[in-house]
Amino acid sequence: MKDALKSCEDSAFPLALAKNIKVNAAEEQSYYLYPLVRMMSDYDGELAQYSFRFNETQRVFFEVGSNFLQSHAVLRWTTKPNRGNSYIFGKQRGNVNVLDLIVPAGDYQMTIMNFNVGHDPCNVYSLKGLLN
């Protein structure tokens, strides 16, 4: 089991968020779930970026977690330049970083960032999200 968790040469965060249709969510909700993502993270920096365009006010909930203490993933929510280019970081709750916002219509970007504090470059994360 230990060797399987450490084998992550070809692993990365999903290139596209795919709606999880196994969950019985309401019609106006999108649910995303990636319970086990192996990631090489031997540097401090961006692991993945996702862009969103909303036509109405939206509740955004995402959480990313690390199963190893030596590295944490952090969520950063950024408004596009037409809205002032401001950003918000997720709140750390143990090994999980949570982003829970209500945002007006517009263009946004969510970035998953790595904060490495150890020596093991391979980490296992989970990513979960809900747009409502």
Q: What would the pLDDT profile of 3-20 be if each residue is shown by its tens digit?
A: 555 666 656 666 678 888
- What's the pLDDT at 30? 87
47: left (phi over 0), alpha (psi -120 to 50) or beta: alpha
Q: What is the pTM of this model?
A: 0.81
The pLDDT of residue 63: 94
State whether the Cα torsion 44-86-29-94 is positive or negative.
Answer: positive
Is 19 among the domain residues?
A: no
Residue 1 has pLDDT above 70, yes or no: no
Q: What pLDDT shows up at residue 82?
A: 64
CA–CA dist 62, 85 (Å, integer): 20
Q: Would you say residue 73 lies in a domain?
A: yes
CB of 72 within 8 A of CB of 60?
Answer: no
pLDDT tens for each residue of 31-71: 888 887 777 655 557 788 899 999 999 999 999 987 666 67
| CA pair distance 131, 73, nearest whole angstrom | 20
For position 6, what pLDDT does the model report? 60
User: Would you say residue 102 lies in a domain?
Assistant: yes
What confidence tens digit (pLDDT) does each residue in 90-124 have? 998 888 999 999 999 989 999 988 876 665 666 77
pLDDT score for 44: 58
Residue for token digits 């795919």? 18
Please provide the average confidence, as pLDDT, over all residues in the chain.
79
In a domain, 95, yes or no: yes
Range of the domain at 41: 2-14+27-131
* 84: Cα separation from own chain's centroid: 22
CATH number at 47 reads 2.60.120.380
CB burial of residue 20 (10 Å; 0-12, 13-18, 19+) = middle
Q: Please report whether residue 6 resides in a domain.
A: yes
